[in-house]
Chain A
Amino acid sequence: MRILAAVTITTAIVTSVTSTALAQKVEVDTVTLDNGMTFLLVPRDDQPNTIAAGWLAKVGSVNERPGITGISHFFEHMMFKGTNTIGTRDAKRDADYRAQQKGVRDEINMLTWTDQYGRYFRGEIDDPWNPVNDTPKLKELRAELKTLMDRQQGKAFGDEIAKLKTELAQVGPDSEGAKETTERITAKIASLEAEQSAGASIVKDEFDQVYTKAGGSGMNAFTSHDLTFFFINVPSNKFELWAWMESDRLNDSVFREFYSERDVVHEERRLRTESTPTGTFQEQFDSMFWISSGYSWPVIGWSSDLNSYTIEESQRYWDLYYRPNNLVGIIVGDFNAADIKPVIREYFGRLKSGAQQPPPVITLEHKQVAEMRMKAEVEAQPSVEIRWHAVPFRHRDSYALDVMSSILNGRTGRLYKTMVEGKQIASNAGARTDIRKYAGAFEISAETKGDATPDQLEAAIDEEIKRLQTELVTDRELQKVKNQNAAEQYRRLQSNFFLMIQLAFLESMGGWEEINEENAKIQAVTAADVQRVAQTYFKNENRAVATYLRKQSSGASRGGVAATVADDPEFARLPAAMQPMVRQAIEKLQLETDSAKLKEALARMDQQGDMTPSPMKPAVDYIRRKIEERIQQLDVAAK
């Protein structure tokens, strides 16, 4: 990147420190092909021998609908499975396997959506998709699908061949139609043996291998609400390889390993969401916060949808969103634009435009009219998260909101000064704007310190909000943020890869040009603007509050059951034979979050009180006391 213009855009001098905010323009060479695909080229000479290259599809979870949530992300996985050239040694045979697999899976889906969902609705099974709940027919189909997937990989022929040979041996020579039967079985065996000796039709992960061998590194992709982006670093002499590989998968993608890859995505969902301390709760908070817009479901999708994607639905998605008129290539690094433009034209020029334009996103976020609250018990530090509905990308208020978040953040920011250092109730606190293509949010969150409660954090945040609404921020605070923003204009351009990612995000939301325009808009923000947006957006009926309390689960922390019980002399005095039973009861108790249920249990114990055999009495009394403590704990938390 070359510095095109270093312009002094502000020279505000507020203290003894002179600050000049400079602007650096990112010089982008834009190429648009006849088929509508655009390329953003940013040549840089300072990092030799390497190019960061990627392309984005302007599609993300916001473009989905119930029933296919997560399909954008699933597509991202599918894109690495190859084409009719890459990833197979016999495209025709591979296509046959895929067609057979599709037939079986469609049947599995239909049976699940009807019969299994029905059993689930009636309470007969706990999960319609879990194979342990399969009917005999489903079990059979699932085994058949597995066999077909194995055969695609050149496995699982032996059993069936052996079975047919046994059958053949049992055909009586004189029985009716013996000749025909023998011929039929023999032919079947021959065809299976031929298939077996042809080997796998699939070449595993060939797409990755080609790049790896050529020095491609960091190849990956991500999916977000508004975009899907595929990227890699290649040595500067291998640009044409990138063009070959990427245009091939855009020209000729096949949905290979469609059914086994969803298991990988399920594992990804377990890893990212279900196995993390707050993952499932964050998911719930998001879906509560976004009322009507496509941001209300998780990018990875709901589990039932993940199981249900069909080839037809995927093909429709592909035809709409993965056509060149919806794609943008981004290349940053050591190259000469004149060198690569003809390569781009030759390779990507072959992509056919989509028959239809991608449909617009129609549903706007519905206006919130009442405060929303979520109370969760988690294995994590107690914390509070407050989120207000705010504004989308390039909204005129987004810059003042951005400045406001910076005034709150950092070690010299207001949240640290008042909550971490002053009141010492928070171990950390921060604000952020979450700006998306079609909507946005502003969020402040904090974690407790010591005995402080999330309620105290919330009150302290409310005070800061009030201050922003009633007093102007100081000139010094404002100038500091502007200085930092100006320096950031340079810092964020230093890495090829990071610059590419920023261009991708900006372009997906509405225009890469924002990278050159944002700083001037930030520099223009006034103290009055900050006050105005604080008054406009920080209203209680416009917010959702998540409160996280630490779940007192088994041995999860010092306050956990195992520790409290072990440290408790009263517990130690109970008869040894009863201790395991009591420990178990306490563990269950700590997981109960509904104090009404506990009160009921207590009432029942009171009724039975007189009937308790005397050896059991100490244990029952101990549990009763623990139930009372837990009720109190829950009632305090509920206040």
Chain B
Amino acid sequence: MRTMTRLTLTFAAAATLATALATTLATTLAATAAIPPRPEDLKFAPLAFTPPEAKDYRHTLKDGTPVYMAPSKEFPLVTISMSFKGGSYLDPADSPGLASMTGSLMRSGGTTSLKPADLDEELDFLATRVGVQVRDTMSSATLNTLTSNLETSMDLFFDVVRNPGFDQGRLDVQKGEAIESMKQRNDSADSIIDREWSSMLYGSDHHEARQPTQASIEAITQDSLRAMHAKIFHPGNAIIAVSGDFDPSNMMARLDKAFEGWQRGSPNQDPPAPTVQVTPGVYHVAKDIPQGKVFIGLRGIKRDDPDFFPMLMMNDILGGGGFTSRIMQSVRSNEGLAYSAGSRSNANPWYPGEFRALFQSKNATVALALKLIDDEFHRIRRESVTEAELETAKNSFVETFPQNFASKEAMLGIFVSDEMTRRPDGYWQTFREKVMAVKPEDIQRVANKYLDPKKMAVMVVGNWDEIYQGNDRASMKDFFNGDVTHLPLRDPLTLEPIK
């Protein structure tokens, strides 16, 4: 008799029963005889899991700043992660790249009392890691240190976050690096399609698409960095997470001290929604490579949309679920037309995200792969998905659910992000029920509502003549009457179309 429990194994020779040790320690019996003929015949102990609640980990500093803490003695390391509301959506219209540069200079530009090289040297010698990143809608500063160096490391970390030096020499070096990496913008099909796709979907002025130019980078000054730093990095925007080997009450006192005299400004506004709509059709950007890279999609939904869960399941069945998804089977597994193929449905917390199918295939079979994906769009709108498919999709979300909370850092990350984006309380407590409640007819309904191929844009980066030609089974004439808009490549430094 094989008896598996999480903590104890009862393996008495002729034992017939194992005792349930506690309600949380699920215990079950399994047949001993032979290896069962099929995996479905296996019996598993139930995995009782209740998602942790944010409030059990949440504290506040004297000034009101939220702090989530989860101590663990496993390794002599501490991670302090500060998240700030604010990101490149705050860039002034004429200064794309400023917020992002503020993040990199905070880390590389020293502090008001420490020269850049001295700060770097101290951190490296202590084997302490400090990172500052400004992303689209959220920014962060992170410390990871040996517990033995916690005191010194925290001093240096808060010096970086509160009193960045923005050293002119380092600013020049970083500007140079930014411009060098700009020069590589047209080198890979990936970077070309990402840029053009975002521009089309969100509008080139929206922060999802807006990119720096040589001129906007060169115009950055120490003053503009200081202004952006002041706008993002203050307690009014901050939420803190601490994990690792530390003493919670000492940590709270230490953080209160680090926050002393730090002006609490008002929080930044929410990131703005895009204002453009996708114009359906086929778009092409020239790149001489043996494969075409293709995106197909349109505007999606917001995270709090009532259709969120049906969309989640629909996308999983259609193209999000890896090898078990329809697009992967049809394009890769049945026909061998692509190594990667699938779809994603991003539901943004602030504004409607996007639905996008994507693949990369040799030029002659781009049209065929596109046709197969188009067929799948039609099929999921026309026919109900099978119960078996839906069950696989649901189970995959429900069964992997506990993993989201397995590491303490990941768990705190969820709490911080939820508070920052104002996710309603209790969301995770009912997550699995909401997944299980999705019905086949819901999936067909949302597919009809959101996945109209006539409303989609198709973007292709590659060698058009060969792609257009296709093969004996499909050509690009099969889509939008063979019409195509050729988008010019953009100058990597000015982003102006190349004539």
A-side residues, CB < 8 A to B, are: 1, 3, 6, 15, 17, 19-20, 22, 24, 44, 46-50, 80, 85-86, 153, 204-205, 208-210, 212-217, 219, 233, 235-241, 244-245, 247-248, 257, 260-268, 270-271, 274-277, 334, 336, 338-339, 342-343, 346-347, 350, 379-381, 410-412, 417, 420-421, 424, 427-428, 447-450, 476, 479-480, 483-484, 486-488, 490-491, 493-495, 553-558, 560, 562-563, 566
Contacts and interface: CB of A to CB of B under 8 A. Distances in A.
B324 A208 contact: yes
A156 to B, nearest CB: 12
In order of increasing CB-CB distance, the 5 nearest A-B pairs are A215-B399, A263-B336, A487-B127, A427-B180, A208-B323
A562 B498 contact: yes
Interface in B358-374: 360-362
Contact of B337 (A267, A339, A555): A267
Contact of A270 (B9, B75, B152, B290): B290
B391 A213 contact: yes
Contact-size category for B: 35 or more
B333 A381 contact: no
B248 interface: no
A4 B334 CA distance: 51
A427 B181 contact: yes
A490 B336 contact: no
Contacts of A266: 336, 362
B403 A268 contact: no
Contact of B121 (A24, A50, A412, A486): A412
Contacts of B398: 215
A245 B125 contact: no
Contact of B288 (A153, A233, A495, A553): A553
Given A204-B333, A558-B492, A244 B35 contact: yes
Contacts of A3: 74-75
A261 B398 CA distance: 31
A238 B44 contact: yes
Chain A at the B interface: mostly helix, strand, loop or mixed? mixed
B109 to A, nearest CB: 12
Contact of B47 (A236, A240, A381): A236
Contacts of A204: 329, 333-334
B22 interface: no
A153 B336 CA distance: 14
B303 interface: no
B340 A17 contact: no
Contacts of B144: 491
B270 interface: no
Contacts of A410: 124
Given A343-B2, A347-B35, A557-B186, A264 B322 contact: no
A236 to B, nearest CB: 7
Contact of A484 (B124, B186, B289, B399): B124
Contact of A15 (B42, B125, B293): B125
A85 B37 contact: yes
B20 interface: no
Interface string B1-22: 0101111110100000000000
Contacts of B360: 267, 270-271, 275
B6 A236 contact: yes
B126 A50 contact: no
Contact of B187 (A347, A379, A562): A379
A237 B362 CA distance: 42
A47 B406 contact: yes
A339 B4 contact: yes
B38 A85 contact: yes
Contacts of A247: 35
Nearest to A338: B9
B46 interface: yes
Given A270-B290, A563-B491, A49 B148 contact: no
B336 A260 contact: yes
